[in-house]
Amino acid sequence: MAPPYETSSTGSESPVPEAVVTVDVTAASELIISAGHRYVDVRTEEEMSKGHLHNSLNVPFMFFTPQGREKNPLFVEQFSSLVSKEEHVVVGCQSGKRSEQACVDLLEAGFKNVKNMGGGYAAWLGSGFPVNNLTL
């Protein structure tokens, strides 16, 4: 069966991107802690320095600049250098919004097994799951 297609305003057809799968923090913790999924945090380095999940990888999806937030133009390339397209990965950020956007880009780039952690790091903290010590 052929993949679904949508027609753009120019009349050309392109594959419809896969829908992002979002899991809540409880399901994410089971995937990360028990099922061996890798966790990639897409927050900035500054945000990560305030606390993060144990053994998490960091690939910022956006940067804070004087002009506001700007998307990391090398995000997919940097992500690809750490994670293969076949690995099972949970992607998170502070609240779950940036990580959802990151998952869209990753699915479009051919990553097969990425899941967004709904609620992000804030929900992880709120659930009392383990984190690396905060640096102040």
What's the 3-state SS for the chain? CCCCEEECCCCCEEECCCCCEEECHHHHHHHHHHCCCEEEECCCHHHHHCCCCCCCEECCCEEEECCEEEECCCHHHHHHHHCCCCCEEEEECCCCHHHHHHHHHHHHCCCCEEEEECCHHHHHHHCCCCCCCCCC
Q: Six-digit token pair at 47?
A: 């945000």
Per-residue pLDDT at 68 exceeds 50: yes
pLDDT tens per residue, range 90-132? 999 999 999 999 999 999 999 999 999 999 999 999 999 989 8
Which residues are tagged catalytic? Answer: 93
Let me know how long the chain is: 136
Of 20, 57, 26, 52, nearest to 39 (Cα)? 57
Residue 40 to residue 37: CA distance in whole angstroms: 10
pTM, rounded to two decimals? 0.84
Q: Six-digit token pair at 63?
A: 């940067």
Of 127, 125, 108, 129, nearest to 43 (Cα)? 125
The class (CATH top level) of 16-126 is: alpha beta
For range 80-87, the mean pLDDT: 96
